Each structure stands twice: as C-alpha cells, then as structure tokens.
Amino acid sequence: MIEIKNLHAKVDGKDILKGVDLTIRPGEVHAIMGPNGAGKSTLSYVLAGREGYEVTDGSVTYYGKDLLALEPEERAAEGVFLAFQYPVEIPGVANTTFLKTAINAMRKHRGEKELDAMQFLKILREKTKALGMSDDMLKRAVNVGFSGGEKKRNETLQMAILEPKFAILDETDSGLDIDALKIVAEGVNALRSPERSMLVITHYQRLLDYIVPDFVHVLAAGRIVKSGGKELALELEKNGYRDFGVDEAA
C-alpha cells in the first residue's frame, strides 16, 4: 500500500505541491488529471526521487517503508516504476543490454541471483512477443531513432520485464496518435494485476477510455481538489478545469 500524506514539494525554490493526500491499495488504478502546471509531473518525479525536487513537508509510506528516504535506484528495486513522458535516448547502449543491466541491478539489490544471458533472453523473448513488439527494437540503442509510439511501447516493455509493484505513467498519451495509444494501452492493461497498483497521470480524458481507472483525482494548484470514480473524468472532459478555478484558455 502507498500512502501519500500532506506532501509538499519545491522546484527551483517555488512551491509546487501544497499538501497532496492519496492512498493507493494493491491492484488499484488511480488517475490523476489536472491542468498544465498543476504539479502532475512534479508528483511523479517526487515519488521516483529525482534530484532538484525538494520535499518540504509530508510523507510517503510505501509498503511500510519511508519511500522518501530511499535513493532513486533503491525505489526502483523496491518496485517503483516511472514510465516517462519523454523517454530518454542513450546512444550506443542496446535496449537488451540496458534491460539486462537494470533487471540484474534490481535483483542484486533484493539479494536475488542475477540472471545469466540465457535466462534473461528467455524472459525478454516471452514479454516482447506478448506485447507484439519486434526483436529489431531490442537490438537498437535505447530510444534512439524511435518514433513517439515506439518510445512509449518500449516503456511498457520495460515495465513488463521489471515487474513493478507500483507503476507511475506520466502523460503516457502525449505525442501518440490514436492507433499508437490503443497499442500502448493494451500493453498496460495486460500488466494490470491484483498485486500491482498504478498511478496514471494525464491531461486528457482520452487515455482513460482505454486504461479505465478505479479512481480519478483532480490535481489543481498543488492539491487534490476532487476525487471520484471513472465518471469524474467524463465530467472534466465536458466542463474543463474551470470549476477548479483554472482557466485553460489563459
């Protein structure tokens, strides 16, 4: 279980999160929606532990542990996964090498035996096939020359291989056309399980047609101002964020 209590955070000296409260139980999918500048990406970076995102108050308890006390790589090994809005390119490093390094670093942290090349390839092939991805993408350098859709599918593949307990999807729909969006959403849906919780961050309701959440929260000006079921998303789509004191046209 993940419990976020009264979370305050600063970026470049500016208060962005101003008291976020949120509880996510295993297996639940929560969506966070909100206007630009509400603090959506800040929340995902704070949870993942990015440098420069300073927590000034509040706590995050992750399966009984103080998440904020852990280094980013420790959080990852504990099962926190962030699907990036803009996946980063790493020239010269093959996707396969990257994934093998990642999974073995995590296994080592957890005191598990590292996978050898054969064991790893077996897992990789299974997951790649399940996601309908081509082997060609595995040989290419991490995200280099990938289309927007390929990048997001690559994030999904990483999630499938690393098997997180808590996945944060930061604006996964950005830069995708409707076909690519469907493919990525299918991949994500295939990874839903009773043990895995997800936090889906998005600006638009569109994504939630495909990844249907259990709960929807509205983040505005650094706080969750409204929570509800999936129907809340449709309401927002109709009325925009005006009801929360935000003028989108501005």
- The contact set with other proteins (CB under 8 A) reads 48-51, 71-73, 75-77, 81-82, 84, 87-93, 97-98, 101-103, 105-106, 109, 141, 158, 162
- Rounded to a whole number of angstroms, the minimum distance from the CB of residue 102 to other proteins is 4
Cβ proximity to other proteins, 144 vs 190, nearer residue: 144
Cβ proximity to other proteins, 93 vs 212, nearer residue: 93
- How far does CA 188 lie from the centroid of its chain? 11
Cβ proximity to other proteins, 57 vs 89, nearer residue: 89
- Rounded to a whole number of angstroms, the minimum distance from the CB of residue 233 to other proteins is 27
Cβ proximity to other proteins, 161 vs 225, nearer residue: 161
3-class secondary-structure state, position 21: strand
Alpha carbon dihedral 85, 90, 95, 96, in 10-degree steps, equals -130
Closest CA to 246 of 213, 214, 230, 223: 223
Cβ proximity to other proteins, 54 vs 73, nearer residue: 73
Cβ proximity to other proteins, 156 vs 205, nearer residue: 156
- Rounded to a whole number of angstroms, the minimum distance from the CB of residue 176 to other proteins is 19
- Concatenate the DSSP letters of all residues of 165-211 into one string: SEEEEESTTTT--HHHHHHHHHHHHHT-BTTBEEEEEESSSHHHHHS
- Rounded to a whole number of angstroms, the minimum distance from the CB of residue 100 to other proteins is 11
Give the span between the Cα atoms of 67 and 48, in whole angstroms: 9
- Rounded to a whole number of angstroms, the minimum distance from the CB of residue 101 to other proteins is 6
Q: Which two tokens stand for residue 200?
A: 């889906």
Cβ proximity to other proteins, 70 vs 225, nearer residue: 70
Contacts of 77 (CB under 8 A, 6+ apart): 105, 106, 109, 110
With 0-12 / 13-18 / 19 or more C-beta atoms within 10 angstroms meaning exposed / middle / buried, residue 164 is buried
- What is the H or E stretch that residue 3 is in? strand 2-11
Q: Which two tokens stand for residue 132?
A: 């309908």
- Pair type for strands 65-66 and 141-142: unpaired
- Rounded to a whole number of angstroms, the minimum distance from the CB of residue 90 to other proteins is 6
- Rounded to a whole number of angstroms, the minimum distance from the CB of residue 163 to other proteins is 12
